[in-house]
Structure 1
Amino acid sequence: MTSFRHIVNMVVGLAVGMGGAMAASAQAIDNSSLDGSAFRGHVATYGLVYRLPPDVTGVLDAKITGPLQAHLLRLGLKDEARTSNLPHVTVVHLHSADPATPQKMLKALPKVPAPIVLTLKTFYTTEAAKDAGHPWWLDLGIVKTGDGFETLMSYNTVATAALTPLRDGPLPRCTGPVFAKMGDAAKDLVKTVGVSGVNVVKDGKELRSHNPHNTLVYSMAKFDPPVQAAMKQVADEFNAVLPDGIATTFKDVSIVEIGFSGNVLREFYRISLEDGSAVDVATGQVVATIAK
């Protein structure tokens, strides 16, 4: 088994190299929206994500989706119940008004890992920043042990270094009232890579803040105490339904378009973790091969 220290050293080396190579071709990045009190206007967000495999979505559809919809409607969270989303676990998000960004992401995509074995487990709520008010989410976490989790973390580091230079500024949901409530470390990430909650290399060292998870509810409603209490009860109920979580294997990663709150709207390219082939989802044709 590859040691943790070897993995970290390898990732740091790759990230430093990619960061330098990408810097020369990066577009102009405008951070001026971080000075305002309102959310930055949203044009288009793109992301690299792992689509949830059928063995996961099948369990969620059978045991979670129906009760969750009922809870949301009971709580008056109608927009949340209607929000469309392709179930996924995020690698990294970036905002860009350039419609060619998905193609640029495919070209810049770093070497992909082998298929990733992991377990999704534990439902919980998350705020974009504590006491910011919104947005907030109901998430399903990933067990933070084992080679699969280590691969998720390592790949986040290299993907963040390779792809975030394609942004035109910070992710809108990380600006305004959310940015104001962030801690210094999160603010530094938003300033330097456009989004918080990712792994980066700083002064030759890997700094990890990534928390891979699947999101089931995306909300811009105020996360006030009654909503917090109600959603905690929902999370507790679902944890009792799936106490052992859902074991699975991620076999591909996708380049997608994302809504303001993080929900996936459409998929552009699907890249196999088995052979590196990249398929244009619209045509079904292989358009590139990413190094393994």
Structure 2
Amino acid sequence: MIKRALHLAIFGLFATAGATQAAQAAAIDNSAIGQPEFRAHKATYGVVYRLPADVNAVLDAKVNGVLKEDLIKLGLKTEADTPNLPHVTVVHIHNADPQTPARKLKALPKPPAPLRVTLKTFYPTEAAKGAGHPWWLDLGVVKSGQGFEDMMRYNTVATAALAPLRDGPLPRVTGPVYAKMGDAGKELVKTLGVSGVNVMQDGKEVRAHNPHTTLVYSMTPYDARLQDAMKAESDKFNAVLPDGIETTFKDVSIVEIGFAGNVVREIYRVSLEDGSVLDVASGKPAAR
């Protein structure tokens, strides 16, 4: 019964998204797909879960300081200084229109209840293997438990509802990254403007979403030296936090995102407990 209700809810969102997408088809420009260079980045807006204070406290005490020192030693000063609001992503879209955050807030599906999850296992990853950049050092989310399942289901419905608001593909999945993607990733970029998201196909949820938080964002070419260095960093921090960090996400935010995925500005914050919305800049409640 629960699964059927989920499918009906997702079908309803896809129907709504489909109608919206048809109305906005002229505004979605896929001409950058297949071009050799990255699409020019103007503005990306995302939906993310902010890392709770307890997680940030652990990372600050045991990881972030050492990691920053190591990045500087590796010549990665830009990466060491990259601003970011620590988070786990739901979905990102590119749209240069400054009204996009307000439209996303209006279209945002009802968020899940607070999410109890465990952050565990540091690992380096590339946007597409062999593309050269961007690449990241991530901390994963344990793929089990009710919190993880709710997180995955929300990615499915949020992607369906919000992807039609894009003006084209996310720049970081174009150019050399798109060229190195597999067919499944390319299809997501063509149809949704982003890879690594969940979709419904033939009545079944197809999962490509891999929730995680990112500690290093880089556009430096990912050569053998850096691959070895990031593997060593991962091993070091996995030894420091072998059991991971248990926490509860209590809100979801609409944010502005840099090219590589770092959060540069929080715009709206939605409580997972009561659904209330905060306009972060003014500190006042906002209406959906």
TM-score (norm 1): 0.95
* Deviation of the 1:279 alpha carbon: 0.7
- Give the aligned partner of residue 267 of structure 2: 268
CA–CA separation in structure 1 for the residues paired with 2:121 and 2:9: 28
Q: Which amino acid aligns with 2:21?
A: A
C-alpha deviation, 1:120, in angstroms: 0.3
Quote the RMSD (CA, aligned, Å).
Answer: 1.4
Q: Given residue 91 of structure 1, which amino acid in structure 2 is its aligned partner?
A: V
Equivalence for 2:24: 26
Alpha-carbon distance change, 204 to 58 in structure 1, aligned in 2, over 3 angstroms: same
Structure 1: runs of 5+ lacking an equivalent: none
**Worse-matched range after superposition: 57-66 or 199-208:** 199-208
Q: Deviation at 1:284?
A: 1.3
Contact 2:47/2:91, CA 8 A, preserved across alignment: yes
Partner residue in 2 for 1:173: 172
CA shift digits 1:210-230 (9 cap, x unpaired)? 000000000001111111011
- The answer as to whether partners of 2:34 and 2:179 remain within 8 angstroms in 1 is no
Distance 1:26 1:38, change over 3 A: same
Q: Aligned residues, how many?
A: 287
Q: Is the 8 A contact 2:93 2:193 kept in 1?
A: yes
> Unmatched 5+ residue regions in structure 2?
none
Do residues 152 (structure 1) and 151 (structure 2) align?
yes
Aligned to 2:230: 231
In 1, Cα distance between equivalents of 2:250 and 2:227? 35
1:285 matched to 2:273: no
Once the 2 structures are TM-superposed, how far is the Cα of residue 206 of structure 1 from its aligned partner? 1.7
CA–CA separation in structure 2 for the residues paired with 1:21 and 1:126: 35
Whether 2:197 is the aligned partner of 1:189: answer no
Q: What secondary structure sits across from 2:32 in the alignment?
A: helix
TM-fit CA distance, 1:142: 0.3
AA in 1 matched with 2:121? T
In structure 2, the partner of 1:16 is 14
Q: Displacement of 1:22 after TM fit?
A: 2.7
Which residue is equivalent to 2:107? 108
- Give me the whole-angstrom Cα distance separating, in 1, the residues matched to 2:145 and 2:19: 31
Identity among equivalent positions (%) equals: 66
Counterpart contact for 1:124–1:139, Cα < 8 Å: yes
Residue 76 and residue 223 in structure 1: after superposition, are their counterparts in 2 closer, same or farther (change >3 A)?
same
In structure 2, give the amino acid aligned to 1:113: P
Task: Give CA-to-partner distance per residue, 1:42-82, whole Å, 9 cap, x none.
Answer: 00000000000001001001110110001101111111001
Contact 1:18 1:158 in 2 (8 A): no
Q: Whole-Å Cα distance in 1 between the matches of residues 9 and 83 of structure 2?
A: 34
For residues 120 and 11 of structure 1, the distance between their equivalents in structure 2, rounded to whole angstroms, comes to 28
Normalised to the residue count of structure 2, the TM-score between the two structures is: 0.96
Displacement of 1:198: 0.3
Tell me how far 1:103 sits from its aligned partner. Answer: 0.5
Alignment of 1:72-91 (within 5 A): 72-91=71-90
Q: Which moved more, 1:100-109 or 1:24-33?
A: 24-33
Worse-superposed segment, 24-33 or 105-114? 24-33
Which residue number in structure 2 is paired with residue 67 of structure 1? Answer: 66
Take 1:20 and 1:111, find their aligned partners in 2: how far apart are those partners? 19
Q: 2:246 aligns to what SS in structure 1? A: strand
Match of 2:118 in 1: 119
Q: Is the 8 A contact 2:122 2:237 kept in 1?
A: yes
